[in-house]
Amino acid sequence: MTAPDSHLAGSHLTIDLAALADNYRTVVQKAPTAECAAVIKADAYGTGLEPSAQTLWDAGARTFFVAHPQEGAKTRALLPEATIYVLNGLVGDDSSAEFDYYRMNALRPVLGCREEVTLWQDYCADRGESLPCAIHFDTGMNRLGLSLADAEELSTARQQAKPAFALELIISHLVCADEPAHPKNREQLEKFRAVRRLFPDVRASLANSGGVFLGPDYHFDLCRPGIALYGGAVVDGAPSPMRVVATLKTRILATRTVAKGQTVSYGASETTRRDSRLAIVCLGYADGYLRSASSSDAKKGAKVSINGHPAPIIGRVTMDLIIVDVTDIPADKARRGDWAEFFGSQIALDDVAKAAGTISYELLTSLGLRALRNYL
């Protein structure tokens, strides 16, 4: 059984790998004194781990961050010379099999609590191998990360006796980097500087995508851009300076005219306010397009673009179909077979996310596998 060709696929997801590479180079230019890594977790933010990782390697990335060890192993098979960190650290049941998996795939766990530090220390001591790792220190997220008190204890212990493992990197994670004026940014910076002073011989990393654009104070030795690489905004409420990487589009299956006062889609949650022309398109939440982008009488949803004309979704997003109000588009510009762009160069990814009450990260990583993927 062969995969459907472009004439049979209901929706198309186009990934512009040249734009991905350009976005990486843009971030590199923003942080010229630091190494620029690439975050490729969650299937490279929904764009496909293998093609995106290879593109980023070719563009110059040598250090990669994933969330889970399986993602790391997949990256290792593709990029045998890359440095690969696993952000979620030791996620298993503390058995040696998990540690062996990290070792065999040359993965570096990012240790996020004291227990993990002890486990990695014991494993390295038992094997007599100084295996590399990173340690995450919390500076205000209150998620993963050791405390400043933990940092002081570890620093003292490290000065007294060489640890069994090789500490290659210390990291923390910014909470409000997409809000440049937020005081939390400076607060976290000062806390991370205090940690850095305790480990002056270890490379340090604080800046995520937004952090890169906060300026050189936040760059340290290594930046970890994620969403910026994939075309998402780096400053909340401001247009993204990055190139569009992902474009989601589908075809119009049919059009119909509906009189004023008729309800549309499930739940009868939206009523036409005029005689309307509607287009039914071949996309739904089973494709990863969020149901929260629906429209109703109480709340307007996301928009699409058809032949360069914006058109609002009307009613609820359903599993396989979405209804769009094309009343304001000339009839010959919104016909059966025409393409509707749901995000891309005509409809900004972050605008769709905002209409859905979420962020571009969720929208990208929710994309399903049903769309025909085209890599440029």
- The catalytic residue positions are 41, 266
Residue 195's SS3 state is helix
**Rg from Cα positions in the chain:** 24
- How many Cβ atoms are within 10 Å of 375's Cβ, its own excluded? 14
Tokens coding 101: 């998996």
Residue 204 makes CB contacts below 8 A (sequence gap 6+) with 169, 170, 171, 192, 195, 196, 220, 221, 222
Long-range contacts, 3-6 (Cβ 8 Å, 24+): 3/372, 4/372, 5/372, 6/372, 6/374
Rounded to the nearest 5 percent, the helix, strand and coil shares of the chain are: 35, 25, 45
Q: Kindly give the interhelix angle for 183-198 and 148-160, rounded to the nearest 10 degrees.
A: 20
DSSP string, 55-97: HHHHHT--EEEESSHHHHHHHHHH-TT-EEEETT---S-S-HH
Residue 172's SS3 state is coil
- What gap in Å lies between CA 353 and CA 236, rounded to an integer? 12
- What gap in Å lies between CA 176 and CA 190, rounded to an integer? 14
Q: Residue 312: what residue type?
A: P
- What gap in Å lies between CA 11 and CA 8, rounded to an integer? 9
Look at the chain and count its residues.
Answer: 376
Distances (CA, A) of 107 to 51, 117, 305: 20, 15, 43
